[in-house]
Each structure stands twice: as structure tokens, then as C-alpha cells.
Structure 1
């Protein structure tokens, strides 16, 4: 959220909006499934969506970094999203194996 705020302060609204959508979708899918999961297949589907959104978030973060859209250290954001991607990927793979 801090990065989105910083992007908006620099009038980088497209990047801010895209990043906000993909990043918040990760949590929304994980939270939704944690609270209202119907079955194992539904769980896997939601976690797969969250994983895809995490990858999209990584894409936007890399664009911001490579394009030097703002002056900010992107490494912490990139490291965090890579960890989230690894976790979600592992959850999906393990869940599929246990299905």
C-alpha cells in the first residue's frame, strides 16, 4: 500500500492501479478461501488464482524497477513477492498431490 501511495504521489496512476488490483487480489483469494472454502478443488482453484495474481504483481514490480518509474528501492518488494509466489506454488502443488 505504501508503494501504491508513492506511485500516486508521482502521478503514476496506471502503475498504482494495476499494482493495487493484482496485489490485493492475492489476499482476497486466500482470505476468501480460508473463510469460505467449499471443498479441496475450490481451495486449489483459489490458491492457483492467488498464485497467478502474485506473478502479475511481480510483473508490475519489475516494470516499475526496470523502467525507473519512481525512485524507490524495489528489492524488498521483489523479494517479498517471490516468497509469496513460492509459498502459493507449494500450496497448490501439495494440495493437488493430496487430492
Structure 2
């Protein structure tokens, strides 16, 4: 019975990891599409590029976390995901507060960045509790 539970638990973790990998990749693609809609001003280009860098790092580092060779490496990559998701939120806030874009233009992306941030931070906390 215990082995069956382990298999179910592992499948559940694998399914979650795959779904979250796809979600972070979509986040990158959505940010690329948003970048294309930005005004052609110098400040929009600069801040937009910063957002592109941080959001693409979210997807790339979660993908790397999924390939981690150890708990410590997984924790390190997940920490980068947390940091870069938070930075993405920051750049989105700057775009709105500097009135480069209207708040409603970033509602979806901002919400998604915050959700990814919360999920990655909770996962990191779980891994930390396991004392890798």
C-alpha cells in the first residue's frame, strides 16, 4: 500500500512540475507579445527590455530546476525563479506608475507574475524544510 501511495505522490509531483513548466513558458511568450505592444519611446524600450529579461529568466530557470541534479541545485534554481518573478512584478509596476501603459494593460500579466511568485516561493520553502 505504501508503494502505491509513493507512485501516486510522484505522479502528482511530475504532473504539477510539467504544468508549471508550461505555465512559466507561456508567461515568457505573453511578455514577449506584450513587449511588442509597448510605445516606441526610449523609456518603454528600456523598461520593456528589463521586463523581457526577468520574465524570460523565470521560464528558463524553472526549466533548469526541473532538470536539477540535487535538492540543493533545485533550491538554487527555484530561488532564481522567485527573484526574477518578483523583478518582473517590479518592472510592470514601473511601467504603470510612470504612465507608460495603463494599469488594465498589465492586469493579466501582473496577476500571473504574482501567482508564479507565490507558487515558486511556497515550493522553495517546502524544499528548504526538507534540509537538502
Normalised by the length of structure 1, the TM-score is: 0.90
Task: Please give the alpha-carbon distance, in whole angstroms, between the structure 1 residues aligned to 2:88 and 2:51.
Answer: 6
Give the whole-Å Cα distance in 2 for the aligned partners of 1:38 and 1:54: 23
| Rounded Cα–Cα distance in structure 1 between residues aligned with 2:118 and 2:65 | 18
Unaligned runs of 5+ in 1: none
Q: How many residues align?
A: 97
Contact 1:5 1:16 in 2 (8 A): no
Residue equivalent to 2:69: 38
Structure with greater helix share of residues: 2
Unaligned runs of 5+ in 2: 1-31
> Could you tell me how far apart the structure 2 residues matched to 1:41 and 1:47 are?
10
> Secondary structure of the equivalent of 2:105?
coil
Structure with larger Rg: 2
How far has the Cα of 1:13 moved from its partner? 1.1
TM-score w.r.t. length of structure 2: 0.69
